[in-house]
Amino acid sequence: MSEDEEAPVLPPDDLEHYSGEWVAMRDGRVVAHDPDPEKLRAHPDVRETDDVFPVGEPPSGFYLINV
């Protein structure tokens, strides 16, 4: 990309905004996000039935993803 070109603008609902973080999704929308999965699950907006997963490169180690 040259200096004259602008970087593409991501739509507000693009998950790339949360790269490197965990997100909780409900009905196709992000309801909360945090770099720490435990803090995310403790967030008051996150329900037990929400989908919780990492965006981008997943962190090393063991974690569970609700299916």
Read off the amino acid at residue 45. D
Higher-scoring residue by pLDDT: 57, 29 = 29
Residue 11 has pLDDT above 80, yes or no: yes
Backbone torsions φ then ψ of 18, nearest 5 degrees:
-110, 20
Residue 58 — very low, low, confident or very high, per pLDDT cuts 50/70/90? low
The DSSP code for 11 is P
Contact by Cβ (8 Å): 20, 37: no
DSSP-based helix, strand, coil % in the chain, nearest 5? 15, 20, 65
Tell me how far apart the alpha carbons of residues 17 and 9 are, in angstroms, rounded to a whole number: 11
Domain ranges of the chain: 8-67
Q: Can you give the pLDDT at residue 32?
A: 96
